[in-house]
Structure 1
Amino acid sequence: MRESNRIEFKSELNDKLEKEIVAFLNNQEGGILYIGLDNDGHPTGIVDLDTTQLKIADRIKNNILPSTLGLFDIVTEAVENMTVIKIIISSGLEKPYYIKAKGMSPSGCYTRIGTSSQPMTTAMIDDLYARRIHTTLRNISSPRQDLKFAQLKIYYQERGLELNKQFANSLELLTPDGKFNYIAYLLADENGVSIKVAKYAGSDKVDLIENEEYGYCSLIKATYSVLEKLKIENVTYAKVTSTKRIEKNLVEPVAMREAIVNCIVHNDFTHEIPPVFEIFNNRIVMTSYGGLIPGQSEEDFFSCSSMPRNRELMRVFKDLGFVEQLGSGMSRILKAYDKSIFQISEHFIKAVFPFDKVMNNGKSFNGDENGNENGNENGDEKLVLKMLMEQPNITAKELSILSSFSMRKISRIVKRLRESGKIIRIGSDRKGYWKINEK
């Protein structure tokens, strides 16, 4: 590693921390500040990692304006077998950022030029302030003020975190005049926002077979619901030959999860247009409203440098484990897919995930290279019986997918189980269920 316009080394924590952080906040691409590396990138060692990280977080939160919550992440990294501190800073939307004690002046405002942080001129400060984005969700009042947050508190408790009586302030859920803002509205137990998930029978929008809405509740709960729904749709196909077993999802799971979270957390909710997820027979399409953030280029978008549209939401999503560290989501997506899966227009960003062509060839199967089925029939019956016991409403197709047996083999096994009296069909073939005869 070398120092650049996005990377800075400091051998130890000193009084220049705020200056470097401010410069990266005002930089178009954000940046990374390492504590514990000398000018050549060699580790110098840090005596007390935990205490130093706490000091850094406290100084960034309290000594810089506007608020930096949701715009930085502090992690550790091993360099030459020694642990150093890595501070990841996003480019902020409310530029210019400045050192609180110095004010919005050339002595308090800095930007990144080459490998150094330089004072901004008065003209630069005035220009950035004139273009500052004030229409953030934090400054928009909630349509309702009778909000409850029981769901949010439960999610925090599950992570071992507690929300005290001041949580509305600490999570920035209030407008400057003390009212609940739109972030609070999105996170509340009840709201008017829903995320749509549509499923079509073919490759176009002609034959709609499912149209679900996940919402009117905390955005966190809705996000969990969407993740679970698409996880179910992202079936695993298995092919077992005489030499090996091939098992693969229609869409790479890690990339899909990151894209779902990005689509939701970076959506522009100021126009009350929620994200949409569409499932076709050959692809999954995720559509987020808002286009690129003002001042952001496509190169910035793909550079894996975080520039969150909704930093307050990003902070909560990170608290709850949806986001590991700033800027990591795009890198995970691009590790599995090419940039071409993204379609960027003035008002929308779409991520189109094509199904794996090799695995999406109709059916999964067990057998040899010629497709001849084999295996322990008695063991196969036990497997199907167990699945019917756990999921009485399961369909033959779902049995085929989960067991990796062909539909023909599933029909044969179910027929034997019925003839032997081990299972009984209750109700119609379409709406009924299986009852296990335990006699």
Structure 2
Amino acid sequence: MLVENKTTEFKREYVEDIKNTIAAFANCDGGTLYISVNDVGTVCGVEDVDGTMLCVTNAIRDAVWPDITIFMECRNDVMDEKSIVCVTVQRGMARPYYLQGKGMRPEGVYVRQGASTVLATDAVILNMIKETSGDSYEAARSLDQKLTFDKSADFFKKWKVEFGKAQMRTLHLIGEDDMYTNLGLLLSEQCAHVIKLAVFEDNRKSVFKDSRELSGSLL
């Protein structure tokens, strides 16, 4: 008899929070979601199989980012002589997966904890990014994906150099997963890092003359 655990989840019917569970499976060790099975494992049966499958695939395609559909299979199955919908999810390769409306922040990233789907902590999110992108800070996916590059665009325009999506990929401001990297963050207006500059009278640095703090885009 099936029971709910880290890789198994039951839903009596299609509900909106199904996308949270599917994203959580992809962020952890994968799993299978059974629709039309109640919490104790009793099969209820789906009346509109095609409609339910369409709702699931549309919700995941529209709400979860990066694209998770290549790691997911939605199919009709039969249990106890009743039709159910099974959604099998593999562990994703572009973790963390998150809800587009909430972003790559704790309120938008879900993981599995035992038989429950819960929100991820900042530490868990950063660890997933590190596992996906490696130890390079610049190449890692930026937590902030709502970046603007007005100053960078003006800089390249001044030198008559194109600065579009293709160039941003070449410069690694956008990664292979089509997401902004931390290098992109450093050149964006959303860069939160502060550069502190100091001017001294000579190389001995014994006489201080002036200082400045620069914030925003490094350009």
Q: Could you say whether these structures have the same fold, taking a TM-score greater than 0.5 normalized by the shorter chain as the test?
A: yes
- Offset of 1:2 from its aligned partner? 0.8
Residue correspondence of structure 1 range 77-156 to structure 2 within 5 A: 77-133=77-133
Counterpart of 2:47 in structure 1: which amino acid? V
CA distance in 2, matches of 1:79, 1:7: 15
**SS in structure 1 opposite 2:70?**
coil
Distance change in 2, residues 1:178/1:53 (3 Å): farther
- Offset of 1:112 from its aligned partner? 0.8
Residue correspondence of structure 1 range 239-254 to structure 2 within 5 A: none
Counterpart for residue 10 of structure 1: 11
- Offset of 1:133 from its aligned partner? 3.8
**SS in structure 2 opposite 1:22?**
helix
CA distance in 2, matches of 1:123, 1:10: 29
CA distance in 1, matches of 2:69, 2:16: 21
Q: Greater Rg, structure 1 or structure 2?
A: 1
| Contact 1:63 1:99 survives alignment (8 Å) | yes
**SS in structure 1 opposite 2:95?**
coil
CA distance in 2, matches of 1:96, 1:124: 9
| Contact 1:10 1:36 survives alignment (8 Å) | yes
- Offset of 1:178 from its aligned partner? 6.0
Residue correspondence of structure 1 range 22-421 to structure 2 within 5 A: 22-27=23-28, 29-133=29-133, 177=165
| Contact 1:93 1:133 survives alignment (8 Å) | no
By percentage of residues, which structure has more helix?
1
CA distance in 2, matches of 1:8, 1:178: 41
Counterpart of 1:58 in structure 2: which amino acid? N
Distance change in 2, residues 1:178/1:33 (3 Å): farther
- Offset of 1:107 from its aligned partner? 1.3
**SS in structure 2 opposite 1:85?**
strand
Query: Is 1:21 aligned with 2:22?
Result: yes
CA distance in 2, matches of 1:81, 1:40: 18
Deviations 1:330-380 (CA, angstroms, capped at 9, x unpaired): xxxxxxxxxxxxxxxxxxxxxxxxxxxxxxxxxxxxxxxxxxxxxxxxxxx
**SS in structure 2 opposite 1:132?**
helix
Taking CA–CA contacts closer than 8 Å with sequence separation of 6 or more, which of the two structures ends up with the larger relative contact order? 2
CA-atom RMSD in angstroms: 1.9
Work out the number of aligned pairs and report it: 137
CA distance in 1, matches of 2:89, 2:131: 21
Counterpart of 2:39 in structure 1: which amino acid? N
**SS in structure 2 opposite 1:59?**
helix
What residue ranges of structure 2 are gaps of 5+ in the alignment? Answer: 135-163, 168-219
- Offset of 1:69 from its aligned partner? 2.8
Q: When the two structures are superposed, what TM-score results if normalisation uses the length of structure 1?
A: 0.30
- Offset of 1:26 from its aligned partner? 0.5
- Offset of 1:91 from its aligned partner? 0.2
**SS in structure 1 opposite 2:73?**
strand
Deviations 1:199-219 (CA, angstroms, capped at 9, x unpaired): xxxxxxxxxxxxxxxxxxxxx
- Offset of 1:58 from its aligned partner? 0.9
Counterpart of 2:6 in structure 1: which amino acid? N
Distance change in 2, residues 1:178/1:12 (3 Å): farther
**SS in structure 1 opposite 2:69?**
coil
Deviations 1:108-154 (CA, angstroms, capped at 9, x unpaired): 111111111111101111221233248xxxxxxxxxxxxxxxxxxxx
